[in-house]
Structures are given as C-alpha cells and as structure tokens.
Amino acid sequence: EDQVTQSPEALRLQEGESSSLNCSYTVSGLRGLFWYRQDPGKGPEFLFTLYSAGEEKEKERLKATLTKKESFLHITAPKPEDSATYLCAVQTNYGGSQGNLIFGKGTKLSVKP
C-alpha cells in the first residue's frame, strides 16, 4: 500500500532557528513528490515538485531535497510568517493513474519571534 509519513507532527522554532521537516514514502513507483503549504482554513498552496533522487529545489528560505525513500524540507532562518502546516504528497506512476496525490498528515510549524 502506498504510504506517506511526515515527521515531526509539530515543530516549534524561534525566529532564525533553522531546521528540517521529513517526509518518508513507500510507493511502488514514484512519478513525483510535492510539497505544499497550508494555512488554517485554506487550501494547500503549491511549493515544489521533485522527480528524481538527488534533485533539489529552492524558494526563499525553503529548500526541498529528495532521496529514494524520503524528502526533506529545510527551512533556513525562519520568520513568523513561515508558520503553517507543510504537506508532503506523492504521485504514483501506475498506468491508469491520472495523477492523484497521496498526502501525508503534515507538519505544523510554529515560528516564534
């Protein structure tokens, strides 16, 4: 069964304190791994797509990396406005799949000033 597990469930940081969020996945075939940001009561906001092991993507204070079994979202010198739930999702490459995403439960990040 395809599975996505994110850790930790919650993370509290001081402003400027860098850290990483983990997403481990078990799928028969990976088409892509996606990171989203979700604010309370809102829809997921697209951040990154990663397709192959070794790939890295960056956007402002965020950097996503991918290995064959997991992905990391590194947050460098976070600010309070980075507080949100970060969701990891995978897309499988089964023949009949139309690209639906399988999500993890997310990591709730709180950044205190």
Partner 1 sequence: EPEVTQTPSHQVTQMGQEVILRCVPISNHLYFYWYRQILGQKVEFLVSFYNNEISEKSEIFDDQFSVERPDGSNFTLKIRSTKLEDSAMYFCASRSTNEQYFGPGTRLTVT
Summarize as ranges the residues that interact with partner 1 (CB under 8 A).
Answer: 31-32, 34, 36, 41-46, 49, 87, 89, 91, 96-106
Q: Output 25 or 34, the one with its CB closest to partner 1.
A: 34
Cα–Cα distance measured from residue 29 to residue 31, given in angstroms and rounded to the nearest whole number: 7
CB of 43 to partner 1, least distance (A): 4
Q: How far is the CB of 14 from partner 1 (least distance, A)?
A: 26
Closer to partner 1 by Cβ: residue 26 or 97: 97
3-class DSSP assignment, residue 96: coil
CB of 113 to partner 1, least distance (A): 27
Nearer to partner 1, 42 or 112 (CB): 42
35: exposed, middle or buried (C-beta count within 10 Å: 0-12, 13-18, 19+)? buried
Q: How far is CA 20 from CA 29, 43, 98, in A?
A: 25, 23, 31
Min CB(80)–partner 1 separation in Å: 22
Give yes or no for a contact between 4 and 88, defined as CB atoms under 8 angstroms apart. Answer: yes
Q: Compare residues 88 and 111 and give the one whose CB is closer to partner 1.
A: 88
Q: Give Cα 13 to chain centroid, integer Å.
A: 17
